[in-house]
Amino acid sequence: MEPEPRRAIRAPADSDRKCNQCTHYYITHEVAFPHACRALNFKSRALPCREVLAASGEECQYFEAKQRTIRKGTR
């Protein structure tokens, strides 16, 4: 019996925005690994939420929304 071909797990479109709205996400400015997560302590070529979904099959459990600040003098 042949094994089933592996299917790519695609993150929902809204989960891509989730990393950008998380306090743990940051950009490394390294060409090879531009995305990183402080909570999980790793760097990646893809968004961390996609890496977590591919590895575990579940959405990231460490998501923590950024606090929005209002700057004076801007709209």
> DSSP letters along the chain, please?
-PPPPPPPPPPPHHHHHHHHTBTTEEE---SS--EEETTTTEEESS-HHHHHHHHHSS--S---BPPP-PPTT--
Domain that holds residue 36: 13-56
- Does some domain include residue 65? no
Task: Kindly list the distances between the CA atom of residue 9 and the CA atoms of 35, 54, 56, in Å, as whole numbers in the listed order.
Answer: 19, 6, 10
In a domain, 71, yes or no: no
What is the residue type of 16?
A: D
Report yes or no on 22 lying in a domain. Answer: yes
> Residue-wise pLDDT tens for the chain (75 aa)?
666 655 544 545 565 668 999 999 999 999 999 999 999 999 999 999 999 999 999 999 999 999 887 777 766
Residue 61 domain-assigned? no
Question: Which structure tokens are listed for 26?
Answer: 């940051």
pTM of the model: 0.68
